[in-house]
Structure 1
Amino acid sequence: MKSLAAALVGSAALLAVAACSAGSGTSSGTSPGADQSLAIGLVAEPASLDFTTTDGAAIPQALLGNIYNGLVKQDETGKIVPDLAKSWTVSPDRKTYTFTLVDNAKFTNGQQFTADDAVFSIDRVKTAWTTSLKSAMDVVQTAKAVSPTELQVTLSKPSNDWLFRMTTRIGAMFSKTGVDKLATDPVGTGPYKFSEWKRGDSIVLQRNADYWGSKPYFGQVTLKYFKDPTALNNALLTGTINVIGTVQAPEALSQFTGNDKYQVIEGTTNGEVLLSFNNSRPVFKDIRVRQAIRSAINHQALMDTCWAGRGKLIGSMVPPTDPWYEDLTGIAPYDQAKAKSLLQAAGATGATLRLRLPTLPYATSCGQVVKSQLEQAGLKVQIDQLEFPAAWLTSVLKGGDYDMSIISHVEPRDLRQVFNAKYYTKYDDPTLKQYLDAADAGDEATQIAEMKKAARRISEQAAADWLFLLPNLIVADKNIQGLPKNAITESFDLSRLTR
């Protein structure tokens, strides 16, 4: 939580809304509205504003691209494009990247952005970050400032993944003099600056008057957080907010689709709703148990029941927006008889599994369906709910105190991050690592072929179960433009929005 704790998590949380993808418009050429304000309703409130030490997709959702810029970013199609780096070149051996930086960017603490800040930010991921995502920077051998506007980064080996990761939170640029209070007072070069955080209620961002790029239309944006889906819907109906950033009651969409005051946007996300297994538990070391659980779940019926049929069945950890996507739902079709047979062969019939759910609407709703279907196959399932993000991140993501959980992992291209022995899934598979390493080091065709192998591997080995891919569902006032159709990055790009 795609996903969310980075959710890391995942992710997890993330669930959230996320991102700047194919939008219905942009703010380009639109004069900023001096007195214009906007309120967006979301669900997963950050546990902190410091994504260098705290997992969870809710933080970059609010801050990345809004308060923080990176050297590069993704455009609406997922292509890597310039941000604080105007351009870059790559050496023939694919190990040295030379970036030419903008010369007019300032941090909100007044300091000029230079290549020294970029070196500081890259090195700091390796030395000061504590989240699991920091490992994506391990491939960097050196980063040095050639001049105030020229940065050179040398990798220890060729990596297809590194530049892409620089579009995510690990690529955020920090001020050397602005990292003392990241949890409560973030300092960046983005189109917005931090104004206020009312914990349990809202985060307020103000337009950055000194922003080096095109000024955003809205002078103030309030991110308002709701734990109850009905309250979220009512907030839009009563004018308290202008946008539901992530619909949490898809069955209630009809109250908006028939009303010409509102627009409903439906697209896709990176948010794989994962029924995760703690693969360090003895019961999950038996592949027959894992495969039985996958076979016991009627995924279409589950999605119809708990998410009003909205979403997509995918069968592995790759969304259709990635170039190595394949529909792998056929690997584990619904088959209760097979599930019962596998459990009996593994001696696991009647085993009790603890399903620990974050207090997120999709997780709590789908958790009941998972419990019912698994118990029909012969397992016993005990459900308990953990407050999200704090309790879930502490107990499940960091503590590994769970048998199964449900979380949306929304971080882009996160297969390697999610399925490894150091992450909360505790999944250790040398063959998978071999495929991922080959994908990272090879040419484009090799990358696609090896990533397909990796996706198939975790599906055939039943490293987890992929319930469905969350849709991007947004409801907003009719006159709001620039909202993302697809959520394919970690950021909800506020600079695109106009009225």
Structure 2
Amino acid sequence: MLDLLKSSVAALALMAGGAAAQDAITLGMVLEPPNLDPTGGAAAAIDEVVYANLFEGLTRFGPDGSILPALASSWDVEEDGRVYVFHLRDGVTFHDGAEFTAEDVVFTLDRARAEDSTNAQKVLFEGIESVEAVDPLTVRVTLTAPDGNFPFKMAWGDAVMVDEASVADLATKPVGTGPFKFDEWAQGDRVELSAFDGYWGEKPALKRATFRFISDPTAAFAAMMAGDIDAFPNFPTLETLPQLQADPRFKVIVGTTEGETILAMNNAQPPLDDVRIRQAIAHAINRQDIIDGAMFGYGTPIGSHFAPHHPDYVDQTAKSAHDPEAAKALLEEAGADQVKLRLALPPTPYARRGGEIVAAQLREVGIETEITNMEWAQWLESVFKGGDFDLTVISHTEPLDIDIYARPDYYFHYAKPEFVALMDELQAATDPEQRSALYVKAQEMIADDYVNAFLFQLARAGVANAKIEGLWENAPTQANDLTGVRWVE
């Protein structure tokens, strides 16, 4: 009888544990964010944890890439796109109980555009002339020039709203207005969130969310198979997807991203300041071999810095088609004998695997590389911030970010005056047809200048428990939005 009682208690405990699991989720991520402040860091991993979960902006990206209201329920456009009046939602509070008002918008946008701002996308705010709190729920933003793209800019993770009282600790103790609040960051292992009871909008079905950081692809696969991870939205072991797809416990989710994967080149220093050398490198690259070898066939070849799913995309791949003989001729014309370049590789599997293939392809045309495998923080500091590199393989996952080529201090150092002028014209344009034509010109210019070797558009290939619904299929921005995620039977 005692054994039967023990068995019954154990069974009830298991049932209770199973029920509890239906309002919690554990997501896997390859990279751990260097901090948790999306307004003060460039790493995509920050937004992958906090975007739409912890922090919200005036607007936000929907799962289809559309721009939706967020903390602003609506906005008016005045003076032909030079003035935006945002109408804020009533009753919004930060996780620490502070009220969200127009003054927080003024503080956030002024902080982001300040001279000493550390915002990684400071360019988003450069067109702002003034920000005024008309009343507690109304904000008037005046721009220096018309900008039809301003609601899009306000949807970025770098433009989320913050409170002056808690801003000093955002990196390690983030406080936002989102449906989840921060609980714990066990560095090197996980970040834990829980549902925010005071959330202004529709409450999420999930009560708890854990983001676990698993950099080793083999360990990621093992964790998925063991059930330690419920979903891995950007799964690192693509070669195992057929096996997981055949397992009824899982579903494989394949979509697109905004991630242009490039072999970035330092245009500011020799020999890469010579367009012939850059063109030779571009012709030495066999994109399909890299997609097959590093991504197991997942990825779309690109010839410029633009997503193929965007309506203004123009295929530029023919300009840098794989042609080793053309590459050798260009090197000879440039008088470049015995070229040796440093190739810095961040820890992502696409970079490590792709970098080895790139090195082999360059060797075939006479270019030797010295590979340095870097951890993420080291890559951000040395390559992205310090510009101390020759070549690197990286995915730029920010949406519609071709404007980075106009930034003079950006790590690959292009900023051709004609391109800067083109971006200035695009900034002021509000007519959709004019903007489309300018995007086409921009793609063509950087392709013709061989600024970088453009490899492929990163696929979003994820794995999830078959009972989970609501995860994004595509990635219009770098996010793991949990607001619509739920377990189903």
The answer (yes or no) to whether the contact 2:119–2:158 under 8 Å persists in 1 is no
Q: Give the one of 143, 166, 178 matched to 1:155.
A: 143
Deviation at 1:93, TM superposition (A): 2.5
- Rounded Cα–Cα distance in structure 2 between residues aligned with 1:109 and 1:483: 28
Q: Give the one of 141, 163, 171 matched to 1:183.
A: 171
2:429 is aligned with 1:437? no
**Other-structure match for 1:135:** 123
The answer (yes or no) to whether the contact 1:315–1:459 under 8 Å persists in 2 is yes
**Other-structure match for 2:4:** none
Q: Look up the equivalent residue of 1:42 and give its one-letter code.
A: M
Q: Give the one of 199, 210, 221 matched to 1:211.
A: 199
The answer (yes or no) to whether the contact 1:350–1:380 under 8 Å persists in 2 is yes
**Other-structure match for 2:77:** 90
Q: 1:51–1:75: structure 2 CA closer, same or farther, 3 Å change rule?
A: closer
Q: Give the one of 241, 245, 248 matched to 1:253.
A: 241
**Other-structure match for 1:470:** 458
Deviation at 1:82, TM superposition (A): 0.7
Unaligned runs of 5+ in 1: 1-31
Identity %: 38
Deviation at 1:322, TM superposition (A): 2.4
The answer (yes or no) to whether the contact 1:411–1:489 under 8 Å persists in 2 is yes
Q: TM-score, normalised by structure 1?
A: 0.91
Write out aligned runs for 1:320-339 (5 A).
320-339=308-327
**Other-structure match for 1:19:** none
2:420 is aligned with 1:425? no
> Over residues 204-241 of structure 1, what are the superposed CA-to-partner deviations in whole Å (9 max), with x where a residue is unaligned?
01100100001111111000011101111111110101
Write out aligned runs for 1:64-75 (5 A).
64-75=51-62
The answer (yes or no) to whether the contact 1:205–1:220 under 8 Å persists in 2 is yes
The answer (yes or no) to whether the contact 2:471–2:480 under 8 Å persists in 1 is no
Q: Give the one of 359, 367, 374 matched to 2:347.
A: 359
Deviation at 1:329, TM superposition (A): 0.9
- Rounded Cα–Cα distance in structure 2 between residues aligned with 1:227 and 1:81: 33
The answer (yes or no) to whether the contact 2:39–2:159 under 8 Å persists in 1 is no
- Rounded Cα–Cα distance in structure 1 between residues aligned with 2:365 and 2:96: 59
**Other-structure match for 1:113:** 100
The answer (yes or no) to whether the contact 1:168–1:490 under 8 Å persists in 2 is no
- Rounded Cα–Cα distance in structure 2 between residues aligned with 1:145 and 1:384: 50
Q: Look up the equivalent residue of 2:130 and give its one-letter code.
A: T
Write out aligned runs for 1:229-308 (5 A).
229-308=217-296
Q: 1:193–1:291: structure 2 CA closer, same or farther, 3 Å change rule?
A: same
Deviation at 1:261, TM superposition (A): 0.9
Q: Look up the equivalent residue of 2:81 and give its one-letter code.
A: R
Q: Look up the equivalent residue of 2:203 and give its one-letter code.
A: K
Deviation at 1:178, TM superposition (A): 1.6
Q: Which has the higher contact order (CA 8 A, sep 6+)?
A: 1
**Other-structure match for 1:41:** 28
Deviation at 1:153, TM superposition (A): 0.3
Deviation at 1:77, TM superposition (A): 2.4
The answer (yes or no) to whether the contact 2:41–2:120 under 8 Å persists in 1 is no
**Other-structure match for 1:372:** 360
Q: Give the one of 299, 307, 317 matched to 1:311.
A: 299
Q: Give the one of 179, 193, 200 matched to 2:181.
A: 193
Q: Give the one of 40, 60, 66 matched to 2:47.
A: 60
Deviation at 1:324, TM superposition (A): 1.6
Deviation at 1:320, TM superposition (A): 2.3
- Rounded Cα–Cα distance in structure 2 between residues aligned with 1:215 and 1:451: 39
- Rounded Cα–Cα distance in structure 2 between residues aligned with 1:109 and 1:284: 50
The answer (yes or no) to whether the contact 1:33–1:217 under 8 Å persists in 2 is no
Q: Look up the equivalent residue of 1:159 and give its one-letter code.
A: D
Deviation at 1:33, TM superposition (A): 7.8
- Rounded Cα–Cα distance in structure 1 between residues aligned with 2:323 and 2:75: 52
1:282 aligned counterpart, secondary structure: coil
Q: Look up the equivalent residue of 2:238 and give its one-letter code.
A: P
- Rounded Cα–Cα distance in structure 2 between residues aligned with 1:357 and 1:300: 20
Q: 1:441–1:419: structure 2 CA closer, same or farther, 3 Å change rule?
A: closer
Deviation at 1:434, TM superposition (A): 1.8
Q: 1:33–1:104: structure 2 CA closer, same or farther, 3 Å change rule?
A: farther
The alignment's C-alpha RMSD in Å is 1.4
- Rounded Cα–Cα distance in structure 2 between residues aligned with 1:463 and 1:202: 37
**Other-structure match for 1:168:** 156
- Rounded Cα–Cα distance in structure 2 between residues aligned with 1:37 and 1:77: 25
The answer (yes or no) to whether the contact 2:422–2:442 under 8 Å persists in 1 is yes
Deviation at 1:168, TM superposition (A): 0.3
**Other-structure match for 1:24:** none
1:151 aligned counterpart, secondary structure: strand
